[in-house]
Amino acid sequence: MGHTFDGIEEYDNPLPKWWMYMFVATCVFGLAYYALYPGLGNYKGLLGWTQVGQWENEVQTAEEKYGPIFEAYAATPIDELVQDAEAMKVGQRLFANNCAVCHGSAGRGAIGFPNLTDDDWLYGGTEEAIKATLVNGRMGNMPAKGLNPAMTNAQVDDMVHYLLSFSDRSDNSEAAERGAAMYQTACAACHGADAKGNQALGAPNLTDNVWLYGSTPKRISHTLLYGRAGVMPAQLERLGEEKIHLLTAYVKSLSQN
């Protein structure tokens, strides 16, 4: 018997059998799932399955499938790989998966991340230098106010005018002259007396109007006042020598194209 409340009549009918069967099946499935897979506390499940284990198995399967391809590429000189369209397609995918998040999908970089499509290289653009960067990574360090921590804000402004003068963008020749004198004591040790940089240190060329952290007076002033710390992570452990060899060829091809 049902009852009526506020004009709504309710009946006491049993649930449909299909609904009951589904409920029972769901309970059985849940219990079986908890028995087979990790679910509660430290219980590891009858199958011993883990996310890490599945990932490692998938990586091993991929290595077995594609390993011979990368071995063949690793035995090929980089200059030949650059001319191999299929190799560059594979290199582009490696770049997209591991490098594009910082350097951009086209390798043109961003503020704080070098453009890889030009001929301006912080640590050198040779095959050996590019591969060394990928294998070992880089730790760039620009100390605040260079080697002269006592540099005043006014002297920093003079230095900015001096640096802008290389690209004919300074509107204060007197300030640029004062900045030139300050440069020799605070910056020349790394960037060179002629300000053309030092690839052994990763000190950029300051005369070519290529700016890693921006070319506006405000950004240049910020670099001088507070310094910069650029990090390129080492990729050897992540990718291995064979993939790094192919990626070196792809990065080199970006600047050639």
pLDDT in tens, 67-77: 999 999 999 99
Mean pLDDT of all residues in 64-89: 95
Measured distance CA(229)–CA(231) in Å, rounded: 7
| CATH architecture for residues 51-140+232-255 | Orthogonal Bundle (1.10)
pLDDT at 63: 87
Each residue of 104-139: b (16+ CB within 10 Å) or e? beebebeeebbbbbeebbbbebebeebbebbbeebe
- Average pLDDT rounded to a whole number, residues 38-60: 91
- Round to whole Å and give the CA distance between 23 and 17: 10
Work out the average pLDDT over 78-103.
97
Is residue 197 within 8 Å of 204, Cβ to Cβ?
yes
Count CB neighbours of 181 within 10 A. Answer: 13
pLDDT exceeds cutoff 80 at 10: no
pLDDT of residue 127: 95
* Structure confidence at residue 229 as a pLDDT band (50, 70, 90): very high
Which band of pLDDT confidence, cut at 50, 70 and 90, is reported for residue 6? confident
* Overall average pLDDT of the 77-104 stretch: 97
In the prediction, which pLDDT does 12 show?
A: 75
> How far, rounded to the nearest angstrom, does the alpha carbon of residue 40 sit from its chain's CA centroid?
37
Q: What is the pLDDT of residues 145-191, one digit of tens each?
A: 999 999 999 999 999 999 999 999 999 999 999 999 999 999 999 99
Tokens of 27: 């309970």
Would the pLDDT of 257 be above 90?
no
Mean pLDDT of the chain: 94
**Residue 113 contacts by C-beta under 8 Å, 6 or more apart in sequence?**
102, 103, 104, 212
Whether 45 shows a pLDDT value over 80: the answer reads yes
Mean pLDDT for the stretch of residues 65-86: 95
Q: CATH 1.10.760.10 in the chain: give the residue spans.
A: 51-140+232-255, 153-229
* CATH class, range 153-229: mainly alpha
At 2, is the pLDDT very low, low, confident or very high (cuts 50, 70, 90)?
A: low
Question: What's 14's DSSP letter?
Answer: P
Cross-strand partners of 229: 141
Candidate from 3-7, 50-54, 131-135, 157-161 with smallest mean pLDDT: 3-7
Among 132, 130, 131, residue whose Cα is nearest residue 116: 130
Q: Could you tell me the end-to-end alpha-carbon distance of the chain, in angstroms, rounded to an integer?
A: 84
For residue 9, name the pLDDT band (cuts at 50, 70, 90): confident
Closest CA to 215 of 181, 143, 173, 167: 167
Half-sphere exposure of 195 (CA within 13 A, CB side): 20
pLDDT digits (tens, 9 = 90+) for 103-135: 999 999 999 999 999 999 999 999 999 999 999
29 Cβ partners below 8 Å, 6+ apart? none
